[in-house]
């Protein structure tokens, strides 16, 4: 045990079972002074201005959702407030927002920071989607002046960026080559999020889904199988491998991060690449672990699509054995009316899910015996913090780390409803599902933000995490 146990602290979470990947599970008090963890000591030994009795509960590092899309369907200002508020219900204390715009980031990001700062309940970082040669030229400014060190390579926009975003490039291999070389040249560690999709294959199997002109209003109803057929698993697998190879050719040895791995085949390929010495971080999402294509409808349109039970089982295996290191959600706040009523391919892609990330992993991972509680903490917090270079500030319970804590009742079962989640979205893809393992308290940088079913935090407490830290 460590820290100053002789003084009164601002906040003490007492008598809980602390869970960390490094030390396993142990009974302890955890104290915060200001924003940071100041002491970890024997249960019942610390005093504080505020004490939360966590007897019979588990204390985890705050969950981190690295893969959200705030501001994609509504303004960033609205999403920042409602979605970070919702996150507190599920124990999320930090999110990474994949943000993409066609214009110059040097010119527009100050405005988006101004929208974010007064509205987030919890901490956040941006990962910028690069869509043009102009964006590549801006990388040094983005890193040095904006404190943003994570980027996204959208293989799905390879042919459509000029029409969709008004950019100067179709993002072909010459563009990708310049992108990788520019990242490899940075002194600061960076993270490259990669959307794995072979557009030549997927476009040949159906109308390009990323262009409004591809939508046929007279189309007869098409079900979820159409998505699965148009976005086959091998198109994902091939794209990840080819792009990972290009990164290796340019000695890009920071974090090549394969986002939303959906297919068992891709996860198995990733395992083979790891055996061959390739350093690719794999991320999957909760919907690929907890849903199957057979149960999906318009509400579940997402790219890549939810796949088979066999894919689901393989993904859980690869989460367990370490091949897949991180779990995110691909969260979007949209409305039921935007999802339901059209056929599946023409419904609005994406759905809300950050608040259910940790409870679903506890319920269907830990309780079902697929992974240990320590592994659940790794994939929902610690590994993500490492992949995005915010560890040990985030993702850890140790002296000096931010006091981001989630107190969890592993035995509490709740039925998922929009009212429970308090998102700006009025539905959930998991609506009606019984989930076991929910936070009783969420603490963001030393302040209690959620307790006993009530939001008690304030918008504006959250802050942007400037990197490198």
When mean pLDDT is compared across 166-180, 360-374, 401-415, 423-437, the lowest value belongs to 166-180
Length of the chain, in residues: 469
| Mean pLDDT, range 263-285, rounded to an integer | 98
| Mean pLDDT, range 189-204, rounded to an integer | 96
Superfamily of structural domain 62-387: Metal-dependent hydrolases (3.20.20.140)
How far is C-alpha 189 from the geometric centre of its chain's CA atoms?
19
Percent of the chain at pLDDT > 90 equals: 90
- pLDDT for 200 equals 92
Q: Which CATH number is correct for 2-59+401-455, 2.40.100.10, 2.40.50.100, 2.30.40.10, 3.10.105.10?
A: 2.30.40.10
Q: Which residues, 6 or more positions from 388, have their beta carbon under 8 angstroms from its beta carbon?
A: 66, 96, 125, 127, 149, 150, 191, 255, 467
User: 202 pLDDT exceeds 90?
Assistant: yes
Work out the pLDDT band at 343, boundaries 50, 70, 90: confident
- Number of helices (H), then strands (E), belonging to the chain: the values are 17, 18
Percent of the chain at pLDDT > 70 equals: 97
Phi and psi, residue 306, nearest 5°: -65, 140
What's the pTM?
0.96
Q: Which residues, 6 or more positions from 143, have their beta carbon under 8 angstroms from its beta carbon?
A: 149, 186, 188, 190
Round to whole Å and give the CA distance between 445 and 156: 37
Q: What is the pLDDT of residues 440-449, one digit of tens each?
A: 999 999 999 9
Interhelix angle 173-184/233-249, nearest 10 degrees: 50
Q: First and final CA of the chain: distance in angstroms?
A: 26
| Mean pLDDT, range 135-143, rounded to an integer | 98
- pLDDT for 208 equals 77
User: 467 pLDDT exceeds 70?
Assistant: yes
| Mean pLDDT, range 138-143, rounded to an integer | 98
| Domain residue limits, the chain | 2-59+401-455, 62-387
Round to whole Å and give the CA distance between 129 and 199: 17
Work out the pLDDT band at 221, boundaries 50, 70, 90: confident
Q: What is the pLDDT of residues 413-424, one digit of tens each?
A: 999 999 999 999
Q: What is the pLDDT of residues 25-52, one digit of tens each?
A: 999 999 999 999 999 999 999 999 999 9
**Contact assessment for residue 143 and residue 183, using Cβ atoms and an 8 Å cutoff:** no
Work out the pLDDT band at 216, boundaries 50, 70, 90: low
């Amino acid at each position: 045990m460590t820290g100053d146990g002789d003084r009164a602290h601002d906040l003490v979470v007492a008598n809980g079972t602390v869970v960390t990947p490094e030390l396993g599970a142990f009974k302890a008090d955890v104290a915060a002074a200001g924003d940071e963890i100041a002491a970890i000591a024997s249960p019942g030994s610390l005093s504080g201005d505020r004490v939360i009795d966590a007897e019979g509960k588990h204390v985890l590092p705050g969950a981190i959702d690295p893969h959200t899309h705030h501001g994609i369907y509504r303004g960033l200002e609205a999403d920042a407030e409602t979605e970070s508020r919702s996150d507190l219900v599920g124990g999320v204390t930090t999110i990474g927002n994949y943000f993409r715009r066609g214009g110059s980031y040097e010119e527009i990001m100050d405005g988006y920071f101004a929208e974010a700062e007064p509205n987030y309940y919890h901490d956040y970082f941006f990962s910028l989607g690069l869509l043009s040669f102009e964006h590549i030229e801006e990388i040094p400014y983005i890193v040095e002046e904006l404190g943003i060190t994570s980027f996204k390579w959208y293989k799905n926009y390879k042919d459509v960026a000029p029409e969709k975003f008004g950019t100067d490039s179709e993002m072909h291999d010459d563009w990708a080559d310049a992108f990788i070389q520019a990242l490899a040249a940075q002194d600061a560690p960076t993270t490259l999020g990669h959307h794995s999709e072979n557009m030549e294959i997927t476009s040949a199997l159906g109308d390009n889904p990323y262009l409004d002109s591809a939508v046929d209003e007279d189309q007869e109803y098409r079900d979820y199988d159409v998505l699965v057929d148009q976005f086959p698993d091998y198109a994902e697998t091939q794209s990840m491998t080819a792009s990972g190879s290009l990164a290796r050719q340019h000695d890009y040895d920071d974090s090549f991060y394969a986002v939303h791995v959906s297919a068992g085949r891709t996860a198995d390929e990733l395992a083979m690449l790891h055996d061959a010495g390739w350093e690719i971080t794999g991320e999957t999402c909760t919907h690929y672990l907890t849903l199957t294509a057979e149960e999906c409808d318009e509400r579940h349109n997402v790219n890549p699509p939810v796949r088979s039970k066999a894919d689901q089982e393989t993904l859980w295996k690869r989460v367990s054995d370490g091949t897949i290191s991180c779990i995110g959600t691909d969260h979007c706040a949209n409305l039921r009316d935007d999802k339901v009523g059209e056929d599946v391919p023409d419904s609005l892609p994406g759905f809300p899910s950050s608040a259910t990330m940790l409870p679903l992993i506890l319920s269907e991972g830990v309780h079902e015996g697929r992974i240990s509680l320590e592994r659940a903490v790794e994939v929902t917090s610690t590994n993500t913090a490492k992949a995005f270079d915010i560890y040990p500030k985030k993702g850890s319970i140790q002296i000096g780390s931010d006091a981001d804590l989630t107190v969890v009742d592993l035995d509490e079962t709740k039925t998922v409803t929009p009212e429970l989640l308090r998102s700006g979205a009025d539905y959930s893809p998991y609506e009606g599902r019984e989930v076991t393992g929910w936070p009783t308290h969420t603490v963001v940088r030393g302040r209690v933000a959620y307790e006993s079913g009530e939001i008690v935090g304030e918008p504006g407490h959250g802050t942007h995490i400037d990197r490198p830290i």
